[in-house]
């Protein structure tokens, strides 16, 4: 969609990213990378740019992931149109305004609704619920970003189904009323992994405490990052 040509083939980009992490000596943190049209004349059109550029940065993680329950609000900031919401880009002004709105209301994040009033996502994270029937429910990805962490959580949640802690895992439209009346609510993303939500606007979620499913999913994703299958982890030669 952005019409930016890759400066290298995918395998070389993969090697560059692994080498960047290796050179950083960072063993607990995150790797972020961007593809840009590159340096140029600062005009809107990328035709004035010399060549595409790849940027990568390793961020040292100094704090453990937090499992304390948080408050969220409904965002009044307009959600991005689906064609922009479903792709990762640096067009983050709506996301920033949404997060600022939450902070101004003593909340951690603001939840977007789509044009039909259906639950969409947070400013840079997905949202999920545990229904009264003990099903993990996540909004459809049709009009929002299908987060990597969210998709991994959907897979890991099947372990809780096998253990009888969940009755099922579904991805479908979720109404606000259904979400606010759920047993549990949680935010899911690379920055928070799985963060329990205990209040949405004025509505207390469940019993107002961190839910067992959210806490179990947090433990599963942390363990998956440490010792999950090679299909989801990449060895780094330090």
pLDDT digits (tens, 9 = 90+) for 199-232: 999 999 999 999 999 999 999 999 999 999 999 9
Q: Based on the residue annotation, tell me whether 88 is a catalytic residue of this protein.
A: yes
Residues in the chain predicted with pLDDT less than 70, given as ranges, are none
| pTM summary value | 0.93
- pLDDT > 70: what percent of the chain? 100
Catalytic option among 28, 88, 132, 134: 88
Q: Which domains does the chain have, with CATH numbers?
A: 10-60 (no CATH), 70-226 (3.20.10.10)
Scanning the structure block, which residue is given the tokens 């792709």? 87
CA 64 to chain CA mean position, Å: 17
């Amino acid at each position: 969609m952005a019409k930016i040509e890759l400066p290298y083939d995918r395998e070389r980009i993969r090697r560059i990213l692994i080498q960047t992490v290796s050179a950083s000596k960072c063993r607990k943190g995150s790797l972020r990378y961007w593809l840009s049209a590159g340096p140029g004349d600062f005009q809107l059109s990328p035709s004035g740019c010399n060549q595409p550029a790849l940027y990568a940065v390793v961020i040292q993680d100094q704090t453990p992931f937090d499992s304390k329950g948080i408050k969220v609000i409904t965002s009044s900031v307009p959600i991005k149109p689906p064609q922009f919401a479903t792709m990762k880009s640096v067009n983050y002004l709506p996301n920033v305004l949404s997060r600022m709105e939450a902070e101004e209301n003593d909340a951690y994040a603001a939840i977007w609704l789509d044009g039909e009033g259906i639950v969409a996502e947070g400013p840079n994270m997905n949202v999920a619920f545990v229904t009264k029937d003990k099903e993990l429910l996540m909004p459809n990805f049709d009009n929002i970003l299908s987060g990597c962490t969210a998709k991994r959580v959907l897979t890991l949640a099947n372990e809780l189904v096998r253990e009888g802690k969940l009755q099922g895992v579904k991805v479908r439209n979720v109404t606000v009323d259904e979400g606010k009346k759920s047993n549990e609510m949680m935010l899911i993303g690379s920055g928070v992994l799985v963060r329990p939500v205990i209040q949405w606007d004025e509505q207390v979620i469940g019993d107002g405490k961190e839910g067992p499913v959210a806490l179990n999913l947090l433990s599963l994703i942390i363990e998956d990052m440490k010792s999950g299958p090679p299909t989801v982890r990449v060895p780094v030669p330090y």
